[in-house]
């Protein structure tokens, strides 16, 4: 038995709510039962959804809430395979609605998008409207649950008629992952992904990169997006048509490459690390009285920054945290502009270096502790990492505390080989954060310390795109 289902909802946001449901129970030959109702979502329906579906707040105000029909829907579908066009969306939405009632709704499922791609190959698009037009199926009341579900019934029947006998059984096999995958994504793509560290790229049907991620195990991480389908993952689900990847050999290399690629490609579904420009920086200096200062300025004016930031507000907030943590004087952090004692001294929150009551040596020790806590990178060094294959190693170059790039080489570490193979990269606050975290959490990293900058020639960023 099959339950062919279509939902209309308030949209794809985190608070997605059902506004209409239609269920056709099919025994493999014909429809034997139907169920349809509007649902009061208990929230306002966005105007663009009203225009798309024709369902507005007035239409649903006297309709049942989902909890009032949940038992009947459960009973109708209990022994059925859940069938829908882009099943991930309808099934995921219904599961979430049941989860909010404290019930775990689970069914085997089939996606008519995926089945249609195999039964009727060669179409440019497999949206319900396109594939129905190709097959001569008329859709009554498009973007309404009953009309779309009824058209999906006709589509499913044509798929069954075209099936040589193994299409649906293979999709329903207990080891098949197809029910969880985006409808446009081929299972063979997933099976070809490595279980090793790297960066992966989600692309839409036009070949545009819409998401970049990093993983220690690429295959498991990619599947994780499609199994959870919450929030951003749910929004991405219907757009992903292909997955490509670059192995990196190590997690650090994956993190560095992910950050660079997000800034370069600016993918639709990556919200973090898109900012390209570090406008401000924190640095330290010693004044004529020997007092160690922490200060901030425009990044282009700072030769050796301790830390970079996108905004001046981020700079000041970070310095305020340092001040509280190490009991530093706000006058010498440039948080208070004064030539005398700071305001905090009167509140007994400053030990008095600004009033001449604390020894400069003791104060400077705390400033150095603060700098050490930042984990600022110093000197010239090469970090050696795992390679992507046997006898290969990866390496990351840091000069004067700034990230210069990465590369891979074969055999024993060799400066000349690394110089010619370096892939140049930009340094920024996200990269510095990644490197500081690596050095804080990695016990005895393997590094080569250099006496002076190597000025590697190298090459520009290599990428799939």
pLDDT in tens, 189-224: 888 999 999 999 999 988 999 999 999 999 999 988
Distance CA(420)–CA(441), nearest Å, equals 30
First to last CA, the chain: 45
263-288 pLDDT per residue, tens: 999 999 988 776 666 788 899 999 99
pLDDT tens, position by position, 54-76: 999 999 999 999 999 999 999 99
Q: Distances from the Cα of 295 to the Cαs of 88, 144, 286, 352, in angstroms?
A: 52, 61, 11, 19
Q: What global pTM score does this model have?
A: 0.64
What stretches in the chain show pLDDT beneath 70?
12-14, 174-179, 228-231, 274-277, 376, 455-465
E strands in 204-336: 209-215, 242-247, 280-286, 292-298, 307-309
Domains identified in the chain and CATH numbers: 2-180 (3.30.420.10), 187-265 (3.40.1440.10), 280-373 (no CATH), 380-450 (no CATH)
């Amino acid at each position: 038995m099959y339950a062919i289902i279509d939902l209309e909802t308030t949209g794809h946001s985190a608070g997605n709510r059902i506004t209409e449901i239609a269920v056709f129970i099919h025994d493999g030959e014909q429809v034997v039962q139907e169920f349809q109702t509007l649902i009061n979502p208990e929230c306002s329906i966005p105007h663009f959804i009203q225009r798309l579906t024709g369902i507005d707040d007035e239409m649903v105000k006297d309709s049942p809430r989902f909890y009032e029909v949940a038992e009947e829907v459960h009973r109708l579908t209990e022994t059925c395979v859940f069938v829908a066009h882009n099943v991930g969306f309808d099934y995921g939405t219904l599961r979430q609605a049941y989860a909010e009632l404290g019930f775990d709704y689970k069914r085997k499922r089939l996606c008519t998008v995926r089945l249609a791609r195999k039964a009727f190959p060669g179409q440019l698009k497999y949206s319900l409207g396109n594939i129905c037009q190709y097959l001569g199926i008329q859709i009554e009341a498009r973007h309404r649950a009953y009309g779309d579900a009824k058209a999906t019934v006709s589509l499913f029947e044509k798929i069954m008629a075209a099936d040589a006998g193994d299409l649906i059984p293979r999709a329903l096999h207990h080891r098949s992952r197809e029910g969880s995958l985006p409808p446009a994504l081929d299972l063979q793509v997933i099976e070809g992904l490595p279980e090793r560290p790297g960066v992966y790229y989600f692309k839409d049907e036009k070949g545009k990169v819409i998401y970049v991620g990093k993983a220690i195990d690429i295959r498991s991480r990619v599947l994780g997006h499609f199994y959870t389908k919450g929030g951003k993952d749910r929004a991405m689900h219907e757009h992903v048509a292909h997955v490509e990847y670059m192995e990196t050999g190590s997690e650090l290399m994956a993190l560095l490459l992910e950050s660079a690629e997000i800034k370069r490609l600016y993918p639709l579904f990556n919200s973090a690390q898109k900012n390209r420009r570090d406008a401000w920086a924190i640095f330290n200096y010693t004044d004529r009285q020997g007092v160690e200062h922490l200060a901030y300025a425009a990044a282009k004016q700072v030769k050796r920054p301790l830390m970079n930031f996108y905004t001046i507000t981020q700079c000041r907030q970070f310095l305020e945290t340092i001040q509280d943590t190490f009991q530093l004087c706000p006058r010498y952090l440039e948080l208070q502009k004064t030539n005398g004692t700071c305001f905090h001294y009167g509140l007994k929150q400053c030990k008095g270096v600004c009033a001449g009551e604390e020894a400069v040596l003791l104060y400077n020790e705390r400033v150095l502790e603060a700098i050490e806590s930042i984990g600022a990178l110093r000197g010239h060094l090469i970090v050696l990492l795992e390679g992507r294959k046997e006898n290969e190693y990866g390496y990351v170059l840091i000069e004067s505390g700034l990230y210069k790039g990465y590369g891979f080489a074969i055999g024993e570490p060799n400066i000349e080989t690394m110089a010619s193979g370096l892939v140049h990269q930009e340094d920024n606050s996200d990269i510095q954060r990644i490197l500081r975290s690596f050095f804080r959490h990695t016990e005895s990293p393997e590094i080569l310390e250099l006496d002076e900058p190597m000025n590697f020639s190298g090459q520009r960023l290599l990428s799939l795109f």
